[in-house]
Structure 1
Amino acid sequence: MSANDPQDLKRIYETRFESTRQYRSRVWSILLGDFFQKYIGSTETVLDLGCGYGEFINQVQCGKRYAMDLNPNAPGFLEKSVTFLEQDCSQKWQLPEGSLNVVFTSNFFEHLPDKAALGRTLDEARRCLAPGGRLIAMGPNIKYLPGKYWEFWDHHLALTEESLKEAVTTRGFQVDRCEGRFLPYTMVNSPEYPLVFLRTYLKLRPAWSIFGKQFLVIARKP
């Protein structure tokens, strides 16, 4: 579910992301190879929730790939092997119970209209994950972005790592990792830094406490 209708999403994505799409893809290649891929097995089934232009799901190494979004343009950017689900994420997902090993989402929960929609989305993630399956969620942390958080037209739901941790715990997940400061805030209207900087940043945990403005929560279905 989004507070914006599909045509609004199409216009927002085109305005905000089209000019940096290739750079974003290269950034995600580093993020996967140097960090996220270790949480995802080569034979596992993965859903990218709020997939955008598919920078994550197109490059992740796994057995089967799904992507969910309401942007009608999204399928045109996805690899042919990715199954696209165009639906409201707060309604019942078009997937069987226990059919996923990983639900990944980046910079998506803040676009939901309210906490009730987020709660229903978490319920569906838990239903569709197999026992031991992981929810991996990152997003802007309102704790460190009190003003800049609202500079994006489609930001509606303000979250911190602790509020999301409590939300997933009340939905039956066990939290394995909770970082209040992970990545810097955004690539929108930012310089395209050399990717070696990102590789170095991921290895330097002290830098996270200075530049990190996004949370990372990794939770598991018992």
Structure 2
Amino acid sequence: MFVLVPHTDPKSPAIPVRTGHEGDDRADAGVYINSYFETRLSHDENRSKVWKHLCEYLSRWIAPDADVLELGAGWCDFANHVRARRVVAMDLDATVERAAASHVTPVVGDCTDLSAFEDGSFDVVFASNLLEHLVRPDASRLLGEARRVLRPGGRLMLLQPNFRLNPGRYFDDFTHVSIFTDQSLHDYLVSEGFTVEKVMPRFLPLTMKSRGSKLTFLVPWYLRSPVKPLAGQMLLVAAR
């Protein structure tokens, strides 16, 4: 989620960035949507526990010495827990700066513009619940930029709500503007020059906002199980 401000962490190298779209002098630069984090993505201590398990599962596609970029990082749940040599977390909302762990480089910026990064500078680009917030031209720009910054053989990993599984709740998030299913996203990635390696139509429940959200110890079982009750999110892994 995505306006670029200088990163001032003395422990990390300077990253050239821009301050929003041209002519953008809004007072709320660095804010995705007013009150979005309070209404749709409020802090939840259980989310961190879930993502520890998720990153352990996803590590089969991420080498320990990989350079990883998370787009739309938000609370940095993935970035903070993935095991990698270098991790960069990027989001439109400045929440990413206070959420990033000490080993993660936060960047407040537009995920459709990765000009701050050189060609072939990452082994993995990861995004969770991001493309559905973008109109098609912006989504295509993001995918094109992801291909550019990935090294040959690098992977794009997308965790997304699957409209096919739960259409009735897909637009409960008022910032959703695009529809994707496991089939349409597969074909879209192919059309943008990726080779899809893995499609998991049923990967996770649609939301953590349920009575069972505290049962985080069940996450490894859920990921292994062929039966996934309440599944609403898919995972796609594609190669550059």
Q: Does TM, normalized by the shorter one, top 0.5?
A: yes
In the other structure, the counterpart of 1:83 is: 105
User: Is 2:182 aligned against 1:132?
Assistant: no
Identity of aligned residues (%): 33
Deviation at 1:189, TM superposition (A): 4.8
Q: Letter of the 2:234 partner, please give it.
A: F
User: Conserved in 1, the CA contact under 8 Å of 2:46 and 2:214?
Assistant: no
Q: CA deviation at 1:7?
A: 3.0
Residue 49 of structure 1 corresponds to which residue in structure 2? 71
Equivalent residue number for residue 59 of structure 1: 81
Task: Pick one of 194, 197, 207 that aligns with 1:176.
Answer: 197
State the AA in 1 paired with 2:48. S
Q: Deviations over 1:24-44 (max 9, x none)?
A: 0000001112x1011111111
Shift of 1:96: 0.3
The residue identity in structure 2 corresponding to 1:65 is V
* Aligned 8 A contact 2:30 2:108 in 1: no
Deviation at 1:6, TM superposition (A): 4.4
Contact persistence 1:9–1:70 (CA under 8 A): no
Query: Out of 86, 97, 106, which is 2:128 matched to?
Result: 106
CA offsets 1:199-222 (integer angstroms, 9 cap, x no match): 2111112x13x432111110001x
Give the partner amino acid of 1:164: L
Shift of 1:193: 3.4
Structure 1 residues not aligned, in runs of 5+: none
1:20-59 → structure 2 map (5 Å cutoff) = 20=44, 22-33=45-56, 35-59=57-81
Aligned residues: 215
Does the 8 Å CA contact 1:16/1:188 hold for their aligned counterparts?
Answer: no
Match of 1:186 among 197, 200, 207: 207
- Higher helix proportion: 1
**TM-score, normalised relative to structure 1:** 0.90
Q: Distance in 1 between matches of 2:211 and 2:136?
A: 30
Once the two structures are superposed, what CA deviation does each residue of 1:51-104 show, in whole Å capped at 9, x if it has no partner? 010111011110000111001222101012212222212224310000000001
Q: Which amino acid aligns with 1:173?
A: F
Post-superposition, which runs of at least 4 consecutive aligned residues in structure 1 deviate over 6 A?
Answer: none
Aligned residue in 2 for 1:72: 94
Whose Rg is larger? 2
Q: How far is 1:144 from its partner? A: 1.5
Counterpart for residue 167 of structure 2: 146
Q: Which amino acid aligns with 2:203?
A: F
Match for 2:233: what amino acid? Q
TM-score by length of 2: 0.84
Q: For residue 156 of structure 1, what is the aligned residue in structure 2?
A: 177
Q: What RMSD in Å do the two structures reach over aligned CA positions?
A: 1.9
More displaced 10-residue stretch of structure 1: 45-54 or 77-86: 77-86
1:13 equivalent in structure 2: 37
Unaligned segments of structure 2, at least 5 residues: 3-27
Q: Which stretch shifts more, 9-18 or 164-173?
A: 9-18
SS in 1 for 2:42: helix
Aligned counterparts of 1:8 and 1:213: Cα–Cα separation in 2: 24
